[in-house]
A and B are shown apart, each in its own frame.
Chain A
Amino acid sequence: MNHPDTTLLSAYLDGDLSPREALEVEDHLGECGSCSELLADFRAIREEARELPSQAPPRDLWPAIARAIQDEAARDPRDPDVIRLHPRVPEKGRGSRRGIFLTVPWAVAAGLVLALFSGFMGARLSSGFVQRAPSVSGKGPTEAGATWVSLVGQAKPELAPAAEEVARLERVLSEHQGDLDSLTVGVLEKNLEAIDRAIRESLAALEEDPGNRFLESNLERAVLTKGEYLRDAASLVTPAT
């Protein structure tokens, strides 16, 4: 009898299998002591994790926190010097602003504040945004790359060629991974994770606030940063001199 991959047992425990797959696993469990034991261990770990008691800090942390927030309170956030740049939270039917929290200090006339809220100044602001052209289009994306590339393309179609080029560079780099020692690969992967995280967060924010021009330019910058990073990484993979 074939043992399923143990990862299937995790998936089974977490309810991530289709009914058919789950049935197959259950059939196997009925006949296999060691897999049943493994699953029982996973269950026990889960139960214990859910019941872990909370721990108290060894000393009272409040005095230090109180001191810090007193310094904060001297200027922020309930102080008129603070400008809060809030994400717009779309209500049902989209677009309406909720709770713009803006306090503009001192030298601003009341008329100007009203103009800000009316969006008039917002229109003037947006026309000043700099739009950068995406880079040259590359070959088609890899399968793994397809997901994020298509998400970027959906969020901002003009960015699709740049994203595809970046995916192509990713492929090139992973093909040459063997030329780099594992420490370097580790660093590159770590840095790429940070950049990818930035791309993901931008995409997620754009989903909630589509048409936000800052977010679009932010996404563009993250994609281009990734491309530059991959090009630098590729330049490290030099043939042995």
Chain B
Amino acid sequence: MNPILAFVLLMAPAVSAGDTLVDVRPGDHLVLKDFEGRVVVDTWDRPEARAQGESKSDYRFRTTRSGNDLVFRPSRGSDEEEGIRVTAPPWVSLEIQGRETEVSVRGFEENVRIRSLEGDVGLTNLSGSLDVYTAEGEIIANGLTGEARLRTGDGDIEVRASSAELDVETVEGEIRLEHLESRRISAKGTGGEIEFTGRMLDGGQYTFLTHEGDVFLRLVPPVNLDATVLAYDGEFTSDFPVRATGFRSGEGIQFRTGEGGTRLQVETFSGEVRIRRLEEGRVERPAEFDD
């Protein structure tokens, strides 16, 4: 692309532009703020960031560079509901903020921070440290390999095929974790169910906390747990033989399965806790979770 245009953009602190190409350097931090539409961020191999309107190629927005920060935001006074599509090298860090912003991010290796009021968030193939909060939307993630803190108020959280360390939390949504090879998982909900399908790694730490939602664990053997299940008015069933090492009525039970060594903590006020055996290679959704 035209190097003169790139130069002009670097010199003018705030420029309204359509299709934009900007040089980026290692250590740069891309910030996408206040777009009222879809924000889509992808990667490529070039040391440049390209940005344009998500649906209208002539959409004009502001581009500002200040030190390591490269900020894209809607034009001053614009109330156009338009998103932005950005392609950047995977080694930049990202920050996305908006009120009604649907977000899709793919392929980055550095930190990603997302704050959205009302918009679903899609996360794919990210290996850095993620910090995501959406008040009303859903979070759907695939291929996370670093670490992730994902929070929603109202929406569901779904994480698949990932090995990242996870800290996920929702107030009223459901949490679905499938085919994870993560060493540390903490999943917390108030109203909704938590469902975990896959393998628990030896020496790993897994914590599932709900108030009234059920906790449903479908585990691929071998399953060697040192577990504590605490509930006030709950029920607990297990496919794996359970050797109880402690019990208190109205509080909970401590037990071991197999050789132990993997820490499992489940706490629920009134939900049901079920641990089921999953045969390798079979993926079946339990009937009670069907729509």
Contact = CB atoms under 8 A, between A and B. Distances in A.
Contact of A236 (B34, B117, B269): B117
Contacts of A10: none
Interface of A: 75-77, 81-88, 97, 100, 102, 104-108, 112, 116, 119, 121-122, 124-126, 128, 183-184, 187-188, 190-191, 194-195, 198, 201-202, 205, 209, 212-215, 217-218, 221-222, 225, 229, 232-233, 235-236, 241
Interface of B: 33-34, 73, 115, 117-118, 133, 135-136, 151, 153-154, 171-172, 188, 190-191, 209, 211-212, 228-239, 241-254, 267, 269-270
B254 A128 contact: yes
A133 to B, nearest CB: 18
Q: Is the interface of A mostly helix, strand, loop or mixed?
A: helix
A54 B171 CA distance: 36
A125 B252 contact: yes
A113 to B, nearest CB: 8
B237 A195 contact: no
A190 B238 contact: no
Contact of A83 (B191, B242, B243, B248): B242
Given A82-B235, A191-B135, 14 more contacts: A84-B235, A85-B230, A88-B250, A97-B249, A100-B249, A102-B247, A104-B244, A112-B244, A122-B247, A122-B251, A124-B246, A187-B118, A205-B233, A212-B232
A86 B211 contact: no
A191 B154 contact: yes
A232 B237 CA distance: 36
B232 A125 contact: no
A128 B245 CA distance: 12
Contacts of B248: 119, 122, 125-126, 214
Contacts of B247: 102, 104, 116, 121-122, 125
